[in-house]
Amino acid sequence: MPIRPCLLFCLAMLASAASQAMPNGEDLYQQNCAVCHGDKAQGKVGPKLAGDSSKWSKKLFERAVLKGIDDGGKPLKSPMPHWNKSSLKEDNGQPPTTEEIDAIQQYIRKLH
């Protein structure tokens, strides 16, 4: 029985999606966040993240990263960048994606 073109297309799309690796939260965190928040998110120049903001909803965490607004609606203190106007080291001038931000949050959730 021949394989239908539609099925071939679907299989190709699945293979393509699987080949695109999910962002590595640990790598992203170490390259972009650890200098201020510590290598284990324990706090340094910036506040502790492990066990604190790691528990925020995805929406709140994303807002903090992109817009510099904390869970109480207050601006984060300097030198926290507003990543919507900046980029992670490997993003070549583009703001981080929601997938990258989620990967970072998932990583710091593991660091109690």
Q: Tell me whether residue 59 is in a domain.
A: yes
pLDDT digit string, tens, across residues 60-83: 999 999 999 988 999 988 888 777
**In Å, how far are 21, 86, 90, 97 from 93, measured between CA atoms?**
20, 7, 8, 12
Q: Does the CA dihedral 84-112-25-30 come out positive or negative?
A: positive
Q: Tell me whether residue 3 is in a domain.
A: no
Q: Tell me whether residue 88 is in a domain.
A: yes
Q: Tell me whether residue 4 is in a domain.
A: no
Higher pLDDT, 31 or 5: 31
Q: Tell me whether residue 7 is in a domain.
A: no
| Residue 23: cis peptide before it, omega within 30 degrees of 0 | no
pLDDT at 49 over 60: yes
Residues spanned by the domain of 99: 24-109
pLDDT digit string, tens, across residues 13-43: 555 554 467 899 999 999 999 999 999 999 9
Q: Tell me whether residue 103 is in a domain.
A: yes
- Write down the pLDDT at residue 71: 87
Q: Tell me whether residue 11 is in a domain.
A: no
End-to-end CA, the chain: 55
- How many domains does one find in the chain? 1
CATH classification of the domain holding 81: 1.10.760.10
Q: Tell me whether residue 90 is in a domain.
A: yes
